[in-house]
Each structure stands twice: as C-alpha cells, then as structure tokens.
Amino acid sequence: MTTKETTRRSRRGSGAITLRDVAKLAGVAPITASRVLTSPERVSPENRQKVLDAVQRTGYVPNRLAGGLASARSRLIAAVVPSTVMSVFMETIESLNATLFDAGYQLMLGQSGYSPVREELLLEAIIGRRPDGIFLTGILQQGKGRTRLLASGIPVVETWDLTPNPIDMLIGFSHQDIGREVARFLIGRGRRKLGMIRANDERAGRRAHAYAAAATQAGLPPITDIDVGASRSLKSGREALRALLEQNPEVDAVFCSSDLLAIGALTEARARGISVPEQIAIIGFGDVPFVADMVPALTTVHIKGANIGRLAAGHLIDRAEGRDVDQPVIDVGFTIIERETT
Amino acid sequence: MTTKETTRRSRRGSGAITLRDVAKLAGVAPITASRVLTSPERVSPENRQKVLDAVQRTGYVPNRLAGGLASARSRLIAAVVPSTVMSVFMETIESLNATLFDAGYQLMLGQSGYSPVREELLLEAIIGRRPDGIFLTGILQQGKGRTRLLASGIPVVETWDLTPNPIDMLIGFSHQDIGREVARFLIGRGRRKLGMIRANDERAGRRAHAYAAAATQAGLPPITDIDVGASRSLKSGREALRALLEQNPEVDAVFCSSDLLAIGALTEARARGISVPEQIAIIGFGDVPFVADMVPALTTVHIKGANIGRLAAGHLIDRAEGRDVDQPVIDVGFTIIERETT
DNA sequence: TTGAAAGCGCTAACAT
DNA sequence: ATGTTAGCGCTTTCAA
C-alpha cells in the first residue's frame, strides 16, 4: 500500500486511455498487451482474450506517435505532388494511398506547388515526421532538397520520370521517348507542319524537345511551340491554339502537354470551324478518365498512373519492412492511344 | 570522468542527429536548444545564435513524433475524402492543405472510397495518429465512427453539407436548397419536363428529392430520374441521357449530379443531334475549373470549394491552438452560374 | 534566462 | 509465454 504504483502523477498526458490502462484492466504487463496488438501469436490465448476484451471495453486506440517513436517506424509515408486539382497524378496518389492503407500505412500529402522554395520547406517538414518512405512526383536533381533526402536515409521513390542517377528507387517512363514517338506517330499519319502547346514545366519541355528534334530529323520544318506558362486550363489551350494558328496558319498537328490543354485546343478548333482531325490533328497527354468518351474522342498518351502508385507503394513498404527491392528502377512505359482526333 | 554521461548506450535510436547533439555542440542544455526552435524570444541572443549555428552545421531536423508525444500536439490534421480522382473535393483539399502548411501543420489524407466499412477502419487509423484536428468531407450521422470521433475529443469539422446536429464544427451548404433552386431556375426559364441524372450518393439523393418536390409543387409532371450507380464518369452521363430519353423522350431539362455527368449528357446530346439548350437544357454540379470554357459553356451549380478548405483549416487551427471558434457552423451557400446550356 | 528532472505512451532488449 | 527495465527524442514542470 505504500508502493508508488497508485500514486497520482497526472500533470501531463492527454487523458486518453493508454496501453497501461488496458494492461491493468486485463491483469497483465503492458508489454503483453502490446504484444497482443502487434504479434498476437506470441501471447497465450487466455491472455490474448483478456487484453482484447479490455481493448473493447475501453475503446482503446493505440497512440502511433508513441509507437513510432519507440520503434523508429512511423508507418507514415509522405507523398509530394505539384498540385491536386484536376491533376493527372491523382490516380497515382489514389492507388498509392489505397495500397499503403491496406498494409497499415498512412499517407501524408504535401503540395510543392511547382515551386522549388516551397518544395524545400516541404521536404524539411516531411523529414521531421520521420516517415518510413517518401514518394516524389517527378525526380529531384541536385539541390538542397536532394542532399537533405539523401542525408535523411529515408527510402525514396521518384516517379513519372527517368534519370540515370535516382536518389534511391524510381518508377517512371521516358519523356524524351514520348516526344519522339508522338512526332513519329503524327508524321506516320501524313502530318507535316507540327505544332506544340505546352505548360512550362521541365518534363513537358523535354517532351517538346524530343518532339521537335524528331520533326527536324524527318526533314520537316521547325515546329511551332506555344508556351502557356504555368496555367494548364482548358482556356489556355484555347488561347494557345489561337496563338499557334496566328504564328503558323498551316499547322496540321498539335501535341499538347496535357489532356486539358488538348481539350482546349479541340474546343477552339470547333469554335472556329476547323475540322479535327481533317485539318488539324490533336493529341494530348495523360489520358484522364473522360477523354475517351468525348466526341471526338481524344487521341492521347496513356500512362498507367494507378500502376505507378501501386508499384511505388510496394517498393516503399518492402524497404520500410527491411526487405530488399530487387527491381528498384522500373520503366512502366507509355502508350499512344489513337482515337478520333488524329 | 566516472560520470555516466559519456556511456555507450546505443542499442536503440535511429542514428539521426538529435536535439541533444545540437545542444551539446552549442554548449547549452537540450531544453535551451528546444526553446530556440519553439520560442526563440525566451533565449538570449548569444545562445540563440550558438544553437542556430549548431543546427546549421549538423543539418538537424527536429523529430516531430517525439515533439508531438511530449507536447500532446501532433500538428497533424487528417482529412477524409471519398475519392481523389477528378473529384470536386480536391480544390477544397488543396486550399486546406496550403493553409495548414503555412501554419505549420501537415495533412494526412484518407480515402473512404464511399464505403462505410472502410471509413470505420480509416477513422481508427486516423485517431491513432492523434491528429490535432479532423476534416471530414460530408457529415457523419450516427454510427460507430461518429461515436469514436466524439469519444476521441479531437476537433472535427464536417463539410460540404449541413445538419442540425454536427459532431463539432461544420462548413457547408444545403443540398436540399440546391435541388429546389435548380428546379425553380429551370422552371423559370420555361422548362416543363424535368429530368435528373445522378450518382447514388446520399447528398445527390437529397438534391434529387428537393428537385423532384419542387417540380411537383409547381404542378409539373413527376421528374424522370436516372441513377447511374457509383460511376461518375462522362460515359455514364452519356448512357444516362440515352436511358432518360428512352423513358421520357419529351424531357426538356436535365439536372446532373456532377459536372462530369453533365458533360456526358451534353456529349450524347450532340452525338444525337439534339440541340442544347434549345431542345434540352443541361445543368451540372460542382463547376469544376474547365466547364466554363467549353463550347457550349456549362451552366452549373458553383460551390466555393477553396473557401471551404480555407475556413475549415482556420477553424481547425484555432481549436488546435486553444482558441475559441466564434462561428463553428458556417453556411457558405452556392450559386447557380448560368452559361450556355440552359 | 537557464537548467534538472520527469515524463509523454509505447516497444526493444534482456531476463526469467 | 511473460515480465522488467530502459529508453525513443522531445517538452512540461519546477527550481534556481
């Protein structure tokens, strides 16, 4: 009775039920209760039942902050995306999240907003949470962010791109190949005056370069390239087609850096009575869910976004659980889906 | 020299730089280093500088798991959305996330996938992380989830709906009012045979009911209601319009439960040579970014999604920091934006 | 203004 | 199979 185990302490704490409470109620040591929840097979059926009953009765929900701190495994995965609204990446995030959740991991979402400054801050915030893995949309070439990530030792998977020197794991495809193949595709269908409408992000830039190079290599005149800046809206697609036609009225094919821009171009073409694909062929990028069912259905470059998410989740989980990843770099490729606009 | 401070312990720990390391390097106590990072004004300029230097030199990133555990403030906010792909909620999530990030909070994203079972599991996983606040898309009527949330004591904001008995805070609008006003809007423009195309979610159901009731009340024949199930694709919008016309060839106005369904209906109408708005008026819901610039531009119900996110973040942060929220329930309303399809 | 001590709630390590 | 002990890395409390 003079022992201190019933002593008031209580100047801190959230007041929530703890593992201690559960263990006390079940009449076992805290570690036994802990084992019931993490490796039930290592506890006798009787004790297991007692603990589970206590959990039920108290409505106990384990504090993963504490668990993560003690075990150095947060079961948190962080994902960085440039943007979430109408973004081609969300399919990837959705499957990433679903796969992670089923394996007992939680997703933290960060938006870099296409800004390097913000990305820097974001990475610091992320590392502070000690996630078991980090998912990056795109790749991270040199810079402070890359250094920090490397130093953190946290498993990283870069995606939606390819690079000879990934930080760690990589699941993507070649933007250069896409640009080249789209050019060949259009040329193969008799197009000769190629145009491009694109947002000014780095990946779209690489697609554009390869596209232009392939055109030149085929002996065509230089492509007409319209940069819409940061905006990826349907509206800027419309405006861009207008600008494109002004610069080069003879253009007979346009590669757009996103489906939304392509729909904008398509809309503008229709508004001007330009027939697609007869006078102008239009091809998008991303194959967002609804472009297949429009009239005319959009020809576009399909990326298996959900697949990227699933693979990335698998890799990250493997690494988090100490398993080796046999194929740390995967090229998931792409497909040009021909529909009615080419 | 016989003190234990230099004793090897090292059987645990992640090996990362800790506050201890920084403090040692700066020649101060850990708590002083801690203060530099949380309340710098309480530390002398000299010590402050020494600590900041040490942070720089070591590349120290505070472990927020440990901080959260010690302070009972995780600076984590959890958000539950039904889906992320092409979803009208993403604008809300984006502004929620941005506002939270600027205030030093991190967002955890959970997908309920429109399934109550999954939602249940998700809530348990979320509560386990001890977030400082929870953002819910939609409202949570009775059920285990609601009970658990209430029991957790975590601040909750429900959104995108209204209810007389919110769990805690609420930022939304009335789906019933929308249904009624859309009906009145169409009737006011001379439409008499109203149709509805909708996904089978509960909120769309309430809009549909009010819409139907308003039609009946105005002395119109019963509306024709097409349920597309769980699918919200453009394709199902097309199929739905087909079904609608089969059931009721005379229909002269269609209210769709999402913009994507509306675009589907629009597409099908065009494919069949039905002129919009002359023969059929079409109105959507959500006002996703690009429907304003299509041809024809879609008439739709606009919700200030970004506003909901910002307000919700503000409320959650206020509550997390112990401030009172003077307007825990906010009706952000809606606007019918008339464009070219009505 | 600074620091020592004592935890936050959990789990790894080492017994038994 | 179960328990004891000692932390994880930080912050609160209390004292100087």
**Is the sign of the CA dihedral B261, B262, B265, B267 positive or negative?**
negative
Q: What is the pLDDT of residue A318?
A: 97
DSSP string, A66-124: HHHHHHT---EEEEEES--TT-TTHHHHHHHHHHHHHTT-EEEEEE-TT-HHHHHHHHH
The pair of three-digit structure tokens given for residue A240, joined into one six-digit string: 């861009």
Question: How many Å lie between the alpha carbon of A287 and the closest alpha carbon of chain B?
Answer: 12
**What mean pLDDT value characterizes chain B?**
93
Q: Is B308 strand, coil or helix?
A: helix
Question: How many Å lie between the alpha carbon of B131 and the closest alpha carbon of chain A?
Answer: 10
Q: Considering the entire predicted model, what is its pTM?
A: 0.95
Indicate yes or no: CB of B72 within 8 angstroms of CB of A12. yes
Q: What is the pLDDT of residue B21?
A: 96
Task: Read off the amino acid at residue A216.
Answer: T
The answer to whether the beta carbons of residues A163 and A142 sit under 8 Å apart is no
E-strand ranges in B234-295 read: 253-256, 281-286
DSSP state of A221: P
Give the chain A residue nearest B123 (alpha carbons).
Answer: A61
Q: Of the ranges A46-50, A322-326, B116-120, B145-149, which one carries the lowest mean pLDDT score?
A: B116-120
The answer to whether the beta carbons of residues A309 and A94 sit under 8 Å apart is yes
CA-CA distance, B223 to A28, in Å (whole number)? 64
D13 C1' closest Cα residue: A11
Q: What is the pLDDT of residue A86?
A: 82
The pair of three-digit structure tokens given for residue A190, joined into one six-digit string: 């008799």
- The per-residue pLDDT for range B276-289, each reduced to its tens digit, is 999 999 999 999 98
CA of B41 to C1' of C14 (A): 45
Task: Read off the amino acid at residue A66.
Answer: A
CA-CA distance, A315 to A309, in Å (whole number)? 10
Tokens 């996110």 belong to: B309
CA-CA distance, A34 to B133, in Å (whole number)? 26
Smallest CA-to-CA distance from A333 within A314, A311, A308 is with A308
Q: What is the pLDDT of residue B11?
A: 57
Q: Is the pLDDT of residue B113 over 90?
A: no
Does the CB of A68 have a partner CB in chain B at under 8 Å?
yes
> What's the rounded mean pLDDT across residues B98-105?
96
The answer to whether the beta carbons of residues B110 and B79 sit under 8 Å apart is yes
Q: What is the pLDDT of residue A2?
A: 32
End-to-end CA distance of chain A: 86
The answer to whether the beta carbons of residues B64 and A128 sit under 8 Å apart is yes
Task: Read off the amino acid at residue B257.
Answer: S
Q: Is the pLDDT of residue B250 over 60?
A: yes
The count of CB pairs under 8 A between chains A and B is 177
CA A200 and chain centroid, separation? 19
DSSP state of B337: E
Widest pairwise Cα distance in chain B: 96
Q: What is the pLDDT of residue B10?
A: 46
Burial class (CB in 10 A: 0-12, 13-18, 19+), A245: buried
Q: Is the pLDDT of residue B120 over 90?
A: no
Burial class (CB in 10 A: 0-12, 13-18, 19+), A128: middle
Q: For residue B1, what pLDDT band results from cuts at 50, 70 and 90?
A: very low
Q: Is the pLDDT of residue B9 over 70?
A: no
Q: Is the pLDDT of residue A84 over 70?
A: yes
The answer to whether the beta carbons of residues B97 and A109 sit under 8 Å apart is yes
Please tell me which of the candidates B110, B238, B288 has its beta carbon nearest to residue A86. B288
- List residues with CB under 7 Å of strand C: A 9-10, 12-16, 18-20, 30-31, 34, 37-38, 60, 62-63, 66-67, 69-71, 73; B 11-12, 28-29, 31-32, 35, 41-44, 46-47, 66, 69-70, 72
Smallest CA-to-CA distance from B167 within B152, B182, B179, B181 is with B152
Q: What is the pLDDT of residue B238?
A: 96
Task: Read off the amino acid at residue B125.
Answer: A
DSSP state of B325: P
CA-CA distance, B224 to B201, in Å (whole number)? 17
Burial class (CB in 10 A: 0-12, 13-18, 19+), B249: exposed
Best mutation target, B17, B60, B65, B150, to test chain A (most A CBs within 10 A)? B65
B37 touches strand D (CB under 7 A): yes
Q: Is B276 strand, coil or helix?
A: coil
The pair of three-digit structure tokens given for residue B223, joined into one six-digit string: 């509306």
At B22, give phi and psi (nearest 5°): -60, -45
Q: Which residues are CB-contacts of A45 (< 8 A; sequence separation ≥ 6)? A: none
Task: Read off the amino acid at residue B329.
Answer: V
CA-CA distance, A306 to A286, in Å (whole number)? 12
CA-CA distance, A312 to A323, in Å (whole number)? 14
Q: Which helix or strand (DSSP H or E) is residue A231 part of?
A: none
The answer to whether the beta carbons of residues A241 and A260 sit under 8 Å apart is no
> What's the rounded mean pLDDT across residues A272-288?
96
Please tell me which of the candidates B68, B153, B234 has its beta carbon nearest to residue A293. B234
C14 C1' closest Cα residue: B11
CA of B55 to C1' of C1 (A): 21
Please tell me which of the candidates B124, B151, B290 has its beta carbon nearest to residue A260. B290
Q: What is the pLDDT of residue A47?
A: 96
Query: Any bridge partners for residue A107, and if so which?
Result: A77, B109
Could you give the residue ranges of the DSSP H alpha helices within chain A?
19-26, 30-38, 45-58, 64-71, 90-102, 116-128, 144-152, 175-188, 202-217, 234-247, 259-271, 305-320
Q: Of the ranges A2-11, A149-158, A206-215, B306-315, which one carries the lowest mean pLDDT score?
A: A2-11
Task: Identify the structural domains of chain B with CATH numbers, from first to last.
Answer: 3-58 (1.10.260), 74-173+305-332 (3.40.50.2300), 175-302 (3.40.50.2300)
Q: Is A254 strand, coil or helix?
A: strand
Query: Any bridge partners for residue B256, and if so which?
Result: B197
Q: Is the pLDDT of residue A341 over 50?
A: yes
C13 C1' closest Cα residue: B11
Q: For residue A11, what pLDDT band results from cuts at 50, 70 and 90?
A: low
CA-CA distance, A121 to B101, in Å (whole number)? 10
DSSP string, B164-183: SS-SSEEEE--HHHHHHHHH
At B146, give phi and psi (nearest 5°): -60, -45
The answer to whether the beta carbons of residues B20 and B26 sit under 8 Å apart is no
Tokens 């006003």 belong to: B181
C4 C1' closest Cα residue: B29
- Length of chain B (residues): 342
Q: What is the pLDDT of residue A94?
A: 96
- The per-residue pLDDT for range B129-149, each reduced to its tens digit, is 999 999 999 999 988 899 999
Q: Is the pLDDT of residue A40 over 90?
A: yes
Q: Is the pLDDT of residue A137 over 70?
A: yes
